[in-house]
Chains A and B, each alone.
Chain A
Amino acid sequence: MAVTTHSHDIIPAELSLAEASRPRLLVLATSLATAAMAMGFVGLLSVYISTRADVLATGERWLPDGVNIPLTQPNYIGLTVAFSVVTIWWMVSAVRNDDRVNALAATSISLLFAFAYFAQTAYLMTIMEIEIAADPRGVLLYAVIGTHMVIMLVAVGYTLLMALRAAGGDYSSRDYEGVLSAAIFWTVASGLYAVMWYVIYITK
């Protein structure tokens, strides 16, 4: 074990590092908060589904005339988000193994994927050509997509904070609950994209 790479030189190198002495409170709290966030998002989606069903029941089209949701961008966004889940767990694995180089690489690539998600989603919004002020259906669409963007933004902020703390030595193989918490939030946020992808982009 690479004890000597730590700054805690006061601890004799021959001693094995102790396990973190407290239960993973941050992981617990993050999981609960993530569940609450997911429930709110699912609630929003349920309103979307229900309103869409009401409109379809009248024989009208759900999307207004002239509005088109292409599939190419949502599919690429989905792939991007899926890759980011892999890289975020790569980050956790790297911190668990005290591998700072890999941790930095994994964090950077995850953030790059997140940037790609925001860029692609923003582009998708511009080509959908639905006016939020012109149609109540636009409100629903933008509320769902916008809420997911906010959730991803929180995931990015949380991950960045935990990555910085890991870089500062707060998290390592001994205690990595911060990065684990961020990864849990990121993964659920990405999972919510999969639900949104099916409900909004596939079923249209």
Chain B
Amino acid sequence: MLLVGMALGLVAAFESADGGGFQIARDADEYTQIWSIGRDLVMFGAVVPILLGIALYIVPLQIGASSSAFARGGAAAFWTWALGVDLLIISYLLNGGPGGGRTDFVLLWATALAMMLGGLIWAMVVVLTTILGARTVGMTTDRVPFTTWGFFVFCLVGIFSVPITMAELLLGYLNVRYGHLPITESEALAAVMDGVSFAPSIYWLGIPLLGIGVDVIGAHTGIPVASRKPIMAAITAFGVLTFGADLVAMASLRTLEFNNALLVLGLLGAALPVLAILGLSGLSIRNGEFKARVALLGALLSGMLVLAAAAVALLGVVEPIMVGLDKIIPDAIDLNNTLVVNGTAWHESVRALMIGAAVVGIIGALHHWANKIWGRRLTEPLGMLSLLLAAGGAVLWAVGELVAGIADRPFYSALDQADFDGYSGLVNTMGFVSAVGVLALVGAAALLALNLASNVFGSKPAGSSPDDWTGSTLEWATASPPGLGNFPGPPIVTSASPLADGDLRFDGIVSESMAVASPEGTEGEDA
């Protein structure tokens, strides 16, 4: 889905890079369809589901549980999402979706997207329940690994914010169904997903990436990252800022106006927690052994791209701050010369960096845990190439969109021929730069798929790669891949780094929380 979504994004990018009018799409509506399905498939068809897939596998191992809290619930969430993805693609193929011309299939688009989001919310509930209710003995909340904490905040923010988008989808569905939104104006439906695609709401994707990054850095430098509580607080603060933004967006109907103080605060404040996490993790790199592995580089680059996104997003607060100052000190500021990026391609540049951060972080995470999941390591050179392509591609994509945005190219890159004709040479050049960046991301996704396929379906037997990085969290205390029940017995931990501190024990004592982690493993299944 990542490959398909990015490829469709590539088509849209090349179309908008071409100053001569519509070459690939037949008209503006078809362009909107290609662009919107690309955007939605990358985010909710690929990045979020992949992150939740990693969570459903790794989180139970990290907290010493024998399985996720509702294993069949997780499977049901997957199939709900998968059916939604299929219907979404079908709806577009039959001229539906935003910009579509057939009412039935525009309605199918809304239904399919709601199914996808519903499935993802369901999976988030499973992950949260696992973290809250299936931790093993001694795994108190302040001892959970950073990855688990990142997923905890990510899922908590998700279950409170994604339903708001579902509510908007419902209204979009009813408005089309009862003719209040004419089918000839169906492209307006693309705005339903704008709320989750704009900063600071889109920082939501960065929450688990930060947690994963800290764990990976600890494992690959041999020194678990210290300052646990400040890092956990920083991850939480980052999540609170995205959630606050969602609340504001809900109250202001997700308008593009950044005149709300909380939104400004979200944009201003998001960079600080990321900076703190990168700085504190950097101490491990300075004191430990730095090896240029895909996992470690992926963690670092991912964090840097999130930071870059937060920095680029700061441009969005220039206008509201200037307007605010003008109210306090009238005539002191020339508002006509204020940088206004709101409503321009600038939104796309922030999204490009966040999607890039997610792809880079996922490549790193899969290299880190591949042996744990499939019993075979991913190929490092191939991984390194995909990592560099993804990071470089994201930066190119973002730079192209940012410069075009400053040059006043509107957010929806090209809506009609007049827009094309009105573009300056710089905007067209930047469109081409963006398209090259998206092409690099497509290449990265293809290489990742190739790497996964060759390792998962390759001839190397499972369990042939040793776990030779020095992880201190519980998933490294069991076989790769783990057997039934995950652990030889319920683990008992007394510190946040049980493997590094050498204080891990397995015991047969059954207490309330350990019953879930029992080797028989059936207690934690569906009720």
| Bound together | yes
Chain A residues close to B by CB (< 8 Å): 19, 21-26, 28-29, 32-33, 35-37, 39-44, 46-47, 50, 132-133, 136, 138-140, 142-143, 147, 177-178
Contact A147 B170 (CB under 8 A): yes
Is A139's CB under 8 angstroms from B516's CB?
A: no
B interface list, Cβ under 8 A from A: 69-70, 73, 121-122, 125-126, 128-129, 132-134, 159-164, 166-168, 170-171, 174-175, 178-180, 250-253, 510, 512-513, 515-516, 523-524, 527
> Which residues in A have their C-beta under 8 angstroms from that of B160?
35-36, 39
Per DSSP, chain A at the interface is helix
> Across the interface, do B159 and A29 meet the contact criterion of CB distance under 8 Å?
no
Query: 22 interchain pairs (CB within 8 A)?
Result: A21-B510, A22-B516, A22-B524, A25-B516, A28-B132, A28-B133, A29-B129, A32-B125, A33-B121, A33-B159, A35-B159, A36-B121, A36-B159, A39-B160, A43-B168, A47-B167, A47-B253, A50-B251, A50-B253, A138-B178, A139-B171, A139-B175
A178–B252 Cα gap in the complex (Å)? Answer: 38
Does A39 contact B159, Cβ atoms closer than 8 Å?
yes
Report chain A residues within 8 Å CB of B73.
Answer: 29
B174 touching A142, Cβ below 8 Å = yes
Q: Which residues of chain B come closer than 8 Å to A25, judged between CB atoms? A: 69-70, 129, 133-134, 516, 524, 527
How far is B175's CA from A178's CA once the two chains are assembled, in angstroms? 38
How would you classify the secondary structure of chain B's contact residues: helix, strand, loop or mixed? helix
A47 surroundings in chain B (CB, below 8 A): 167-168, 171, 253
- 12 more contacts with CB within 8 A, not counting A37-B163, A39-B163, are A21-B510, A23-B512, A23-B513, A23-B516, A25-B133, A28-B132, A32-B125, A35-B159, A44-B171, A47-B167, A50-B251, A133-B179
The answer to whether A39 and B164 touch across the interface, beta carbons within 8 angstroms, is yes
Give the one of B69, B73, B121, B125 with max A CB within 10 A.
B125
Are B527 and A26 in touch, CB under 8 angstroms?
Answer: yes
| Bound CA span A107–B473, Å | 47
CB-based contact B167/A29 at 8 Å? no
Among B132, B159, B515, contact of A22 (Cβ-Cβ < 8 Å): B515
Q: Which residues of A contact B69 (CB under 8 A)?
A: 25, 28-29
Q: Which of A46, A140, A143, A177 contacts B250 (CB 8 A)?
A: A46
Q: In the assembled complex, which residues on chain A have CB atoms less than 8 Å from the CB atom of B161?
A: 39
- Rounded to whole angstroms, the CA-CA distance of A35 and B161 in the bound complex is 11
* Residue among A40, A140, A143, A177 with the highest chain B CB neighbour number at 10 A: A40
Instruction: Give bound CA distance, A139 to B513, whole Å.
Output: 47
